[in-house]
Amino acid sequence: MAQKDCNAYRNGKFKLVDAASKTTYLIERKGKLQTESIVGTSDKLDFIVNWIDDCTYSLTPTPKTQEFLKSDLVVYTKIIGINAKELVLVTYIKDVPNSEIEMKVQIID
């Protein structure tokens, strides 16, 4: 992983394929809002983005997304690696043991 300047990825478009469910998400992060579209459905999930430091942020589901997910859990994400085409992330839920997951997100734009 070449660089570690996370500021360039505070906004943008990304693609995530969930390894477990094989579900593909198109993610757009703009300012304090992150929208995740589930490919093959009309479902969209909105989250409020709060940057904690240069490479760590939290995602808080909006009320509509809380209703859809049946959860109000805040997910924390840390960018741990960057290369030309993807970000390596670690996500976790605070105070939930064994909730940490490492994933790769393709950079679209």
Q: Does residue 1 fall inside a structural domain?
A: no
Q: Does residue 86 fall inside a structural domain?
A: yes
Model pLDDT, residue 20: 83
Q: Does residue 97 fall inside a structural domain?
A: yes
CA-nearest of 21, 11, 69 to 45 is 69
Range of the domain at 12: 6-107
Q: Does residue 64 fall inside a structural domain?
A: yes
Please say if the pLDDT value at position 2 is more than 70: no
Confidence label for 4 from pLDDT (cuts 50, 70 and 90): low
Q: Does residue 51 fall inside a structural domain?
A: yes
Q: What integer is the mean pLDDT of 58-67? A: 96
Confidence label for 1 from pLDDT (cuts 50, 70 and 90): very low
- What pTM, to 2 d.p., does this model score? 0.89
R_g of the chain, CA atoms, integer Å: 13
Share of the chain above pLDDT 70, in %: 96
Provide the domain count of the chain: 1
Report the CATH number at residue 43.
Answer: 2.40.128.20
Handedness of CA 95, 99, 105, 109 (dihedral sign): negative
